[in-house]
Amino acid sequence: MKFSIDKHEKYVVLGMDEVKFTNENTPKLKSEFILLNAEGFRNIVLDLSSIKQCDDSQDLSSLLVGDRLCKKANGLFIVTGVNDVVAKILKMSNLDQSLTIVSKLDEATDLIFMDEIEKELLGGVDLG
């Protein structure tokens, strides 16, 4: 599986450089989520804009690994660049209910920065 990684201070963008999302490339994707999380990235944006074909919702369930890792680290896992084919499978499998999906990369980065600002503000407030 080929992908590009664009690391930033508060987040990382993982772009899939494949046309098909299959059960052959999902284990590598899961491994990459785990590696990025171990490096300290709690906010991961997965760009699926190059994906044109996905035959099975089982393949897309690998995205839940990234989502769980980010949530556990108190971060966000955001999927962007979803085409109609992938969106249909996400909807059929109810993954669209579990994942944060936005249409454009800049929307994902805006969400991350708003979330980070909110955490900083709430972190500075003594609620006790």
Residue 128 has pLDDT above 50, yes or no: no
The predicted structure's pLDDT at residue 124: 60
Output the CA torsion sign for 54, 6, 96, 81: negative
Q: What angle do CA 15, 106, 25 make, to 5 degrees?
A: 15
Residue 6 has pLDDT above 50, yes or no: yes
Per-residue pLDDT tens digits for 46-103: 999 999 888 777 778 889 999 999 999 999 999 999 999 889 989 988 999 999 999 9
CB contact at 8 A, 59 and 22: yes
Extract the tokens encoding 81: 């660049």
The predicted structure's pLDDT at residue 125: 55
The stretch 105-124 carries a mean pLDDT of: 91
